[in-house]
């Protein structure tokens, strides 16, 4: 077991605006991007493909007068797999834990069924909601107005803000608004803590992020990543990970001609893990078949995708 990243060893309990803030939205709206930007660290997997996040991740933002515990959740999506159900449960848990919700809206896509589900969930959970309209660097004013009007049918009184989750300066107004809605209380974490997640769990997500970038269509969505070995020696991290795929014929895709694809994945993942762990990395990847794992509750539990 590795130690949680939150164990900074510093104990500076303080007091101020504090609480849990759920990031809710359909897939691909920029929830994980916002988390990374606010933390100033790349902890959550981000990709241009929907359904990147599979389980909740807490990010801890601390400044002079507040400690905001952001809960990044999977995107709201009605799928048929046991994995979809598990992701939906993760959203439910995040909503339960939250003091307030930030509904992340993506105006670059026309509102649809997933927005309807998101808006209903936001309205039904009985907690203060902020509508954060993201991607306003690329959306038109009409797109923003259309998306806001759609959500306002369900949460008419929620305050709304335009943000750019990729740009720290353009999420500041959201942070300020969140602070005004949070209660006062003692801080639960140290000033240097960024998450309560284990390093190796973050590492598995960063490897999955590479898979989402490199592989096409459904293939990356059907891969689960397990970290089998995590050893430190002479300031170098030795990591072994297994990529579990659902079908034998995906092996050839992931390994690629002459092993080219797996070599690319390994190279890119090594770079990312080096940046994350701030140490040179030796990474070995293995590929194994776990037939239809996305339908198997036991597998999902083992991978902490289901409680
Ligand atoms: N132009 C632009 N793109 C953004 C912005 N925020 C996020 N993105 C892009 O949107 C895509 C999705 O971002 P994610 O953060 O993975 O979205 P998510 O809501 O966490 O997605 P799921 O985990 O699938 O629910 C990525 O390609 C991001 O780079 C933004 O403010 N502007
Ligand atoms: Mg995400």
pLDDT at residue 2 in the model: 41
pLDDT digits (tens, 9 = 90+) for 279-303: 999 999 999 999 999 999 999 999 9
| DSSP label of 293 | G
Does residue 68 have a pLDDT over 70?
yes
Distance 102 CA to ligand 2 centre (A): 14
pLDDT at residue 12 in the model: 61
pLDDT digits (tens, 9 = 90+) for 186-201: 999 999 999 999 999 9
Rounded to whole angstroms, the Cα distance separating 7 from 190 reads 8
Distance 257 CA to ligand 2 centre (A): 31
- Residue from 214, 222, 220, 241 nearest 291 by CA: 222
CA dihedral over 63, 65, 67, 70, signed as positive or negative: negative
Work out the mean pLDDT of the chain and round it to a whole number. Answer: 95
Mean pLDDT lowest among 6-10, 115-119, 263-267: 6-10
Does residue 247 have a pLDDT over 70?
yes
Does residue 104 have a pLDDT over 50?
yes
Three-class SS of residue 185? strand
pLDDT at residue 1 in the model: 37
Give the list of residues 6+ apart from residue 110 with CB closer than 8 angstroms, or none. 146
Distance 35 CA to ligand 1 centre (A): 11
- For the CA atoms of 41, 42, 43, 49, the dihedral, rounded to the nearest 10 degrees, stands at 150
| pTM (2 d.p.) | 0.95
pLDDT at residue 3 in the model: 42
pLDDT digits (tens, 9 = 90+) for 112-162: 999 999 999 999 999 999 999 999 999 999 999 999 999 999 999 999 999
Q: Which residues pair with 137 in a beta bridge?
A: none
pLDDT > 70 in the chain, percent: 96
Give the list of residues 6+ apart from residue 56 with CB closer than 8 angstroms, or none. 71, 72, 73, 74, 90, 91, 93, 94
Which residues are near ligand 2, the ion (C-beta closer than 5 Å)? 31-32, 52-53
- Residue from 160, 74, 58 nearest 118 by CA: 74
Q: Which residues pair with 61 in a beta bridge?
A: 68
Q: Which domains does the chain have, with CATH numbers?
A: 15-186 (3.40.50.300), 199-302 (3.30.300.20)
Rounded to whole angstroms, the Cα distance separating 134 from 107 reads 7
Q: Which residues pair with 241 in a beta bridge?
A: 227, 285
């Amino acid at each position: 077991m590795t130690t949680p990243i939150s164990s900074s060893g510093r104990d500076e309990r303080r007091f101020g605006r504090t609480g849990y803030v759920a990031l809710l939205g359909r897939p691909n709206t920029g929830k994980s991007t916002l988390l990374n930007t606010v933390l100033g660290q790349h902890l959550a997997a981000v990709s241009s493909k929907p359904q990147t996040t599979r389980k909740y991740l807490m990010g801890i933002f601390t400044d002079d007068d507040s400690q905001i515990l952001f809960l990044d959740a999977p995107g709201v999506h009605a799928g048929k797999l046991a994995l979809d159900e598990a992701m939906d449960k993760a959203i439910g848990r995040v909503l339960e834990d939250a003091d307030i919700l930030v509904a992340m809206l993506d105006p670059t896509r026309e509102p649809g069924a997933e927005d309807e589900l998101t808006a209903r969930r936001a309205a039904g959970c009985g907690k203060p909601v902020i509508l954060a309209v993201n991607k306003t660097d690329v959306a038109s004013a009409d797109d923003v107005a259309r998306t806001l009007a759609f959500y306002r049918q369900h949460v008419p009184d929620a305050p709304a803000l335009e943000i750019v989750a990729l740009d720290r300066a353009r999420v500041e107004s959201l942070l300020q608004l969140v602070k005004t809605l949070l209660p006062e209380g003692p801080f639960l974490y140290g000033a240097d803590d960024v998450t309560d997640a284990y390093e190796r769990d973050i590492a598995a997500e960063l490897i999955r992020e590479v898979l989402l970038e490199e592989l096409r269509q459904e293939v990356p969505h059907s891969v689960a990543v397990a970290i089998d070995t995590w050893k430190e020696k002479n300031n170098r991290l030795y990591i072994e990970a297994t990529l579990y795929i659902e079908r034998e014929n995906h092996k050839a895709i992931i390994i690629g001609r002459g092993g080219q694809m797996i070599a690319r994945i390994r190279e890119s993942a090594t770079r990312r893990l080096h940046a994350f762990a701030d140490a040179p990395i030796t990474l070995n990847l293995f590929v194994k078949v776990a037939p239809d794992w996305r339908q198997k509750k036991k597998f999902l539990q083992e991978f902490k995708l289901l409680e």
